[in-house]
């Protein structure tokens, strides 16, 4: 295969990565933007989504049925866990920035250990719900990956609709801009915080369900999406939705290109150094508004 098709494959892989990453990172970005806290356990919500999807595939006979069931059930279950974490831990800390980081690190290890104990240390594959190949002149490409990108795009559009066209979205944007003013106008801040935390976790879990037929479910799989989401959120600016989308594509494509031409490990090192470069030039990120 010559250079052109290689590059095409890299961009194709990068696009799929970018869509899934955008869904995951948007969850992290929403939580940071509205609640001003960094959720280090975000990757574990992704991992829980994947693990639950693999359990659903075992319960339901047909791959398509299992997938559709998981796509609804896993985010709901993970959202419930997130609600409990918000109620039992984050609220008690009064959403203190550094305290919540330590607490979510604790949550990360508790969730990881729980999955290791009850699910086991093995990586488990899940059959793709739909199987077809798209034939290009140079190579065939898994149709399921295109489906993943499409569902991710739908999820992103739905989140955007929620943020800009609903009362809840209005509350969220109000809390993000000025919490005290929002509360003065009757925005139920606590309830909005709980819903945002659950929503962020559900987005991560949905991304986990989507990738499990490509990646395999494993109790340690949450770290990579967490770090990549951090990269995306930093490059895109903390709390900026538009920036998150653009940054997801920058990271996804560069990851795809370096992975195809060099090695995946090198791709991650490059992405990390990209963050360093961004921070040296603009400490608040490319799209982030200056914040006191």
Kindly list the residues in this chain that would bind another protein in the complex (CB under 8 A): 38, 89, 92-93, 97-99, 101-103, 105-114, 116-117, 223, 227, 230-231, 234, 238, 263, 265-266, 268-269, 272-273, 275-276, 279-280, 283
Q: What is the nearest approach in angstroms of another protein to the Cβ of residue 183? A: 23
- In this structure, the chain runs to a length of 292
**Six-digit token pair at 280?**
């040296």
Q: What is the nearest approach in angstroms of another protein to the Cβ of residue 220? A: 11
In the complex with another protein, the residue whose CB is nearer, 62 or 289, is 289
In the complex with another protein, the residue whose CB is nearer, 113 or 164, is 113
In the complex with another protein, the residue whose CB is nearer, 129 or 256, is 256
Distances from the Cα of 284 to the Cα of 100, 177, 238, angstroms: 21, 16, 7
**Six-digit token pair at 80?**
């419930």
Beta carbons of 74 and 60 less than 8 angstroms apart: no
Beta carbons of 244 and 23 less than 8 angstroms apart: no
In the complex with another protein, the residue whose CB is nearer, 161 or 261, is 261
In the complex with another protein, the residue whose CB is nearer, 17 or 100, is 100
The CA-based dihedral angle spanning residues 273, 277, 279, 281, taken in that order and rounded to the nearest 10 degrees: 180
Q: What is the nearest approach in angstroms of another protein to the Cβ of residue 271? A: 9
Burial class (CB in 10 A: 0-12, 13-18, 19+), 1: exposed
In the complex with another protein, the residue whose CB is nearer, 38 or 170, is 38
Q: What is the nearest approach in angstroms of another protein to the Cβ of residue 31? A: 12
Q: What is the nearest approach in angstroms of another protein to the Cβ of residue 203? A: 19
Residue labelled with tokens 């400490």: 283
Beta carbons of 252 and 232 less than 8 angstroms apart: no
Burial class (CB in 10 A: 0-12, 13-18, 19+), 53: buried
Q: What is the nearest approach in angstroms of another protein to the Cβ of residue 212? A: 22
């Amino acid at each position: 295969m010559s250079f052109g098709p290689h590059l095409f494959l890299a961009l194709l892989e990068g696009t799929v990565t970018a869509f899934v990453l955008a869904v995951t990172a948007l969850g992290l970005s929403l939580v940071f933007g509205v609640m001003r806290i960094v959720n280090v356990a975000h990757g574990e919500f992704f991992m829980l989504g994947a693990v639950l999807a693999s359990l659903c595939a075992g319960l339901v006979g047909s791959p398509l049925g299992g997938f559709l069931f998981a796509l609804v059930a896993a985010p709901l279950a993970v959202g419930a866990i997130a609600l409990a974490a918000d109620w039992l831990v984050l609220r008690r800390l009064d959403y203190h920035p550094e305290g919540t980081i330590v607490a979510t690190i604790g949550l990360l290890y508790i969730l990881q250990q729980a999955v290791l104990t009850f699910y086991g240390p093995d990586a488990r594959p899940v059959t793709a719900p739909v199987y077809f190949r798209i034939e290009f002149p140079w190579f065939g490409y898994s149709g399921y990956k295109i489906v993943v990108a499409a569902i991710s795009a739908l999820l992103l559009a739905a989140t955007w609709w929620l943020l800009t066209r609903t009362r809840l979205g209005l509350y969220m944007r109000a809390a993000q801009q000025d919490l005290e003013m929002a509360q003065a106008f009757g925005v139920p801040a606590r309830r909005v915080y709980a819903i945002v935390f659950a929503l962020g976790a559900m987005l991560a879990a949905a991304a986990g369900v989507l990738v499990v037929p490509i990646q395999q479910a494993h109790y340690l799989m949450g770290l990579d999406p967490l770090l990549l989401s951090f990269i995306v959120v930093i490059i895109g600016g903390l709390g900026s939705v538009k920036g998150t989308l653009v940054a997801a594509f920058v990271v996804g494509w560069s990851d795809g290109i370096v992975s195809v031409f060099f090695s995946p490990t090198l791709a991650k090192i490059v992405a990390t150094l990209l963050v360093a470069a961004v921070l040296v030039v603009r400490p608040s990120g490319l799209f982030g508004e200056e914040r006191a």
